[in-house]
Amino acid sequence: MFNLLKTNLKHFSITFLILFTVLVAFGLYHGAEAHFNESRLAYTLDKEGPHVFFEQDKLQVNYVRGSKAEGGFYADVAFYPLSDEVKASAYFPLEQQNIPLLLNATIQTPEVHYQDDQPILAISDIEGGYKAFRDFLITHNVIDETLAWQFGKGHLVLVGDFVDRGKSVTQVLWLIYKLEQEAKKQGGAVHYIIGNHEIKNMQANFYSASEKYLYIASVIDRTQSELYGENALIGRWLASKNTIERINGYLFVHGGIHPKVAEFDYSLEEINNIIRSHYRKPFITRLGASEDDFLISSKTGPAWYRGYFKDDLTQQEVEQGLAKFDAKAVIVGHTLQWRVKTFFEGKVVAIDVKHPSDYETHLPPRSSEGLLIKNNLFYRLLSNGSEHPL
């Protein structure tokens, strides 16, 4: 009897182990993961900011101060003339690091076309993960340990979705703002391509945002939507950005180019202007939908389109979208991949991967990747600093 029980238990254990292994493998294949060990520093509110707003003829600069232990939180508020260049800093609690900033009330809409022989480094879907973003840029010599621009006349292209989900959105946005200024002074450029989550935030859709930003807004006597509103410096800065740009013959867009766009009589400038004019207007299906509606749709718009990976597209359909804008290939984020890779005979490069979180541990472990374009060749960039031809 004992031997029979022992044999059955052994068979059960083996069967359970096999089923468990199959289940885990199935989950990993479909992107499942576990996260744990969240640091409470993620919810540090003291020194959060700056949150900057246009108030008549002045800039209002707000920081959150205080703690529960000190009896609560309050807003530290200062005003500066719009003509001033204001010294400020953004604080990263995990490492007690300050990001030095110069706030400038002047905001300009970027160009759409760029042509030179400089290298391009692209990364996407950081989703509020400051440390992964910063460390990747340091590792690949875009910035140094002091966060200063080191990429010379190169192009750093951020292919959308740098907000939401993570708990360091403030720090990510201000680092981009800082590097944009520094790159310009050295003849380089930071291209912040707007993704669907930036659009969601400008439309006050915060379902994917950390709840800490709701409380941050409350402390400085604002609503969460005002953090990215028309009177916010970051809000106006985001709203000035393009959804698609052509850099050295390559298109950069968060989602992709639907083949039907090739049939429209629109230039890249016109497409950007149409989409930009709807950044703060949620899309809704309407009778008699126009070409403009097609461009802002949450299914077919460039910031949302997933057709390269979800539709049964032909090579010809992909290439007709590129030919419309005289592009050699398109680089996209938005649709998650196991690694940076090419599709459609190298005409589509997908760079959305799962980046590490600032305050959580993930299983399986996450690792950042990006793309380098140099001398018309593609290289997959890893977080350890290595480069691999694609």
Domain ranges of the chain: 2-32, 99-389
pLDDT at 5 (0 to 100): 61
- In this predicted model, what pLDDT tens digit does every residue of 170-184 receive, in sequence order? 999 999 999 999 999
Across 98-110, average pLDDT: 97
Distance in angstroms between the alpha carbons of the first and the last residue of the chain: 61
Judged against a pLDDT cut of 90, whether residue 313 lies above it is answered with: yes
pTM as predicted: 0.92
Q: Which residues on neighbouring strands pair with residue 86, listed in sequence order?
A: 103
Are the CB atoms for 160 and 124 separated by under 8 Å? yes
Across 5-30, average pLDDT: 55
With left for phi above 0 and alpha for psi between -120 and 50, is residue 263 left, alpha or beta? alpha
Per DSSP (E only), the strands in 183-322 are: 189-193, 244-247, 250-253
Provide the mean pLDDT of the chain.
92
Does domain 99-389 sit in CATH 3.60.21.10?
Answer: yes
pLDDT at 70 (0 to 100): 85
With left for phi above 0 and alpha for psi between -120 and 50, is residue 125 left, alpha or beta? left
- In this predicted model, what pLDDT tens digit does every residue of 327-359 receive, in sequence order? 999 999 999 999 999 999 999 999 999 999 999
pLDDT at 69 (0 to 100): 86
pLDDT at 28 (0 to 100): 42
- In this predicted model, what pLDDT tens digit does every residue of 128-141 receive, in sequence order? 999 999 999 999 99
How many residues are listed for the chain in this entry?
Answer: 390
Of the listed ranges 13-17, 141-145, 148-152, 205-209, the one predicted with least confidence: 13-17
Q: Which two tokens stand for residue 170?
A: 């403030």
Across 42-69, average pLDDT: 96
- Of all helices (H) and strands (E), which one includes residue 36? strand 34-36
pLDDT at 149 (0 to 100): 98
In the chain, how many H helices and how many E strands?
A: 10, 19
Neighbour count for residue 193 (Cβ, 10 Å): 29
| Distance between CA atoms of residues 158 and 198, nearest Å | 12
Are the CB atoms for 197 and 224 separated by under 8 Å? no
pLDDT at 25 (0 to 100): 44
Neighbour count for residue 229 (Cβ, 10 Å): 18
DSSP 106-173: ---PPPSEE--S--EEEE---TT-HHHHHHHHHHTTSB-TT--B--TT-EEEEES--SSSSS-HHHHH
Percent of the chain with pLDDT over 90: 85
pLDDT at 3 (0 to 100): 63
DSSP 55-80: ETTEEEEEEEEEETTTTEEEEEEEEE
Determine the 3-state secondary structure of 197 from DSSP. helix
pLDDT band at 253 (very low <50, low <70, confident <90, very high): very high
Judged against a pLDDT cut of 80, whether residue 248 lies above it is answered with: yes
- In this predicted model, what pLDDT tens digit does every residue of 275-307 receive, in sequence order? 999 999 998 877 667 889 999 999 999 999 999
Judged against a pLDDT cut of 70, whether residue 40 lies above it is answered with: yes
| Distance between CA atoms of residues 1 and 40, nearest Å | 53
